[in-house]
Amino acid sequence: MATQQQRSDSTRQKLLAAFRASFLERGYDATTTQQILSETGLSKGALYHHFRSKADIIEALYEHESRAAIDRAVARVERTGSPLVQLKQSYLEWMRTVRSPDVARILFEIGPSALGEQRSKQIEEEASNPPIKRLLEKAKGAGEIAPPDDDLLIRMLNALVAEAALYQLRTEKDPSKSLDLTFSAIFAAMRP
């Protein structure tokens, strides 16, 4: 028998999944809470137990998508070889992950439109910076790289990945080789 916490978590996930599907199908503005409640059979009380508003829902969904994308990317990278190679491979995998059409729509279109650029960027940084920072610290500890400013480097590399993913979505051209060469050049310039 499921515990109260398990039922609560299940309800929250059911709501997020239903809102995600509706945002992707209808868009943020055309999605209503009443429509989601009708589709899921859940009550207003269940909805408002987990979320204060539709804006709260898109924020939770955006955060989930951001964290899931970076977690999937980092998990796909082999843990053998140099930490700097692992860092670069994590970024390349992240670009492949965020260019998936549904993920890209949420991370590059729906989320920023609903949340605003500043809030969506803040959420994205909170999700992506810790795992990337850990990889950068390993590369620094191994003496492979000595950036003058870790946080600025991470922001610049994150921006490169986002632009590469957007480029592929708009042009259908694979930017992986260009991104790989760009990372290699940046990292080479920051060798101790």
pLDDT band for 116, please (50, 70, 90 cuts): very high
CA distance 105 to 165: 11
The average pLDDT across 120-145 equals: 94
**pLDDT tens, 80-93?**
889 999 999 999 99
118 CA to centre of own chain: 15
Q: Please report the pLDDT score of residue 100 as a whole number.
A: 87
Of 4-8, 52-56, 68-72, the least confident: 4-8
Per DSSP, 53 falls in state S
Has residue 58 got a pLDDT over 90?
yes
Residue range 12-38: average pLDDT? Answer: 95
Q: Distance (Å, rounded) from C-alpha 44 to C-alpha 132?
A: 39
Q: Which residue blocks in the chain are alpha helix, DSSP H?
A: 4-26, 33-40, 44-50, 54-76, 83-98, 101-104, 111-115, 117-141, 150-171, 176-189
Shortest CA distance to 176 belongs to which of 93, 86, 119?
A: 93
Q: What is the mean pLDDT of residues 141-151?
A: 95
